[in-house]
Amino acid sequence: MEYGFSTAAYVVAAVLFILSLGGLSGQESAKRAVWYGITGMGLAVFATLMGPGQGNWALSVALVLAGGAIGWVVAQRVQMTEMPQLVAAMHSLVGLAAVFIGFNAEIEMVRIAALHAAGDAAGIEALKGFAQKVAHKTPAEINILKIEVFLGVFIGAVTFTGSVIAFGKLAGKVTSKAVKLPGGHLLNAAAAAGSLALLVMYFNGAGSWTLIGMTLLAFFIGYHLIMGIGGADMPVVVSMLNSYSGWAAAAIGFSLSNDLLIVVGALVGSSGAILSYIMCKAMNRSFVSVILGGFGNTTGPAMEIAGEQIAIDADGVAAALNDADSVIIIPGYGMAVAQAQQSVSELTRKLRARGKNVRFAIHPVAG
């Protein structure tokens, strides 16, 4: 009965998440889509708390309420122009959660292995939830679980430190310049190769220290990758980190045998990757270079700058528009935050009435 309820609730929640993602593609349906997502998440949390093998409901409810209260306070304090760094901060929490869940799974596997070695049948039968599932897995299934845990922790660790650095750059707390340690990409490659070697050792039973070592290397990779990207390119990086957080959730979903986590993680991971690709294409950037941390290139035709940027006040803008024959307006995120759409429309109407050629260009990120 419990399994049937959880499965049905997860299916409904997955459908709501899909409707939410699809609705966000249009302005008219965006508000309704947000409520789809809220309802789906509420249903998913309720079904998880009431699912088979669950316990500590009082603690779980207290933590949910505490997290919700913190989220409410943060959302009330954050300005609309600060939303990109808030999103980056939220991604870091998803990555850190994946790391914690992965290590919890490793602790459970070690404990269950000790029970099997001691022949403690009563102790094994007393296990609940995830631990009970692990206790009855075959050696082949345990090996698959190890790979899932390792990948979940690796992606989560990269997402965590990468998102923290992205938040710092967007918030002005970390230098916006592209900074790399001596060795550049070779350091990232060496850390990735070291993580792969630790995976082989972990798979062959070398112990939990290999998981810890990989986590430290992954923390470094996330830090160094994003530090090597300029602050102006952070919106695309945040989108890519969003994709990473989705794949981390999907990997952990396989570890926990949670179908909803797998579905939602795949949705977030694929949509984030697609959005990043679209943004890179619009900005004449290489999608692969985003993943490798080489996004902050400052050479090539796409980076050639003609003219000079000059600070100007409102009177200066009015004088420039009065003298110009051709005007190009590039709406960005600031216009939406200031709700200046009507003002821009009125300005366009007046300029065209005076015979000026007014055109609009789409910003590859903010547009």
pLDDT tens-place string over residues 150-195? 999 999 999 999 999 988 888 888 887 878 888 778 898 899 999 9
Instruction: Output the CA angle 301-307-313, nearest 5 degrees.
Output: 130
**Predicted local distance difference test score (pLDDT) of residue 99:** 93
CA distance 89 to 83: 10
Q: How many CB atoms lie within 10 A of CB 287?
A: 16
**Predicted local distance difference test score (pLDDT) of residue 296:** 46
CA distance 147 to 152: 8
pLDDT for residue 327 is more than 60: yes
Percentage of the chain exceeding pLDDT 90 = 24
Beta bridge partner(s), residue 152: none
**Predicted local distance difference test score (pLDDT) of residue 7:** 82
**Top-confidence range, 4-13, 17-26, 125-134, 210-219:** 210-219
Q: What is the dihedral of CA 276, 277, 279, 280, to 10 degrees?
A: 110
**Predicted local distance difference test score (pLDDT) of residue 272:** 86
Chain mean pLDDT for the chain: 83
- Look at 64 and 4; give whichever has higher pLDDT: 64
As a 3-state breakdown, the chain gives helix, strand, coil percent values, each rounded to 5, of 75, 0, 25
**Predicted local distance difference test score (pLDDT) of residue 290:** 66
Q: What mean pLDDT is predicted for residues 90-98?
A: 90
Count of H-run helices and E-run strands, the chain: 15, 2
Beta bridge partner(s), residue 357: 326
Characterise 13 by phi-psi region: left (phi > 0), alpha (psi -120 to 50), beta (else). Answer: alpha
Instruction: Name the pTM for this structure.
Output: 0.79
CA distance 325 to 83: 36
Q: What mean pLDDT is predicted for residues 26-35?
A: 85
Structure tokens at 84: 């990109």
CA distance 39 to 56: 24
pLDDT tens-place string over residues 221-238? 999 888 888 766 777 888
Percentage of the chain exceeding pLDDT 70 = 90
Widest CA span of the chain, in angstroms? 90
**Predicted local distance difference test score (pLDDT) of residue 46:** 87
Per DSSP, the residues of 167-179 read: HHHHHTSS--S--
**Top-confidence range, 48-52, 62-66, 179-183:** 62-66
pLDDT tens-place string over residues 282-317? 777 777 776 666 544 544 454 555 566 677 888 888
CA distance 287 to 233: 12
Q: How far apart are the first and last CA of the chain?
A: 49
- Look at 350 and 26; give whichever has higher pLDDT: 350
User: What is the Rg, in whole angstroms, of the alpha carbon atoms belonging to the chain?
Assistant: 25
**Alpha carbon separation from 176 to 183, 216, 223 (Å, rounded):** 20, 24, 14
Structure tokens at 198: 């630790």
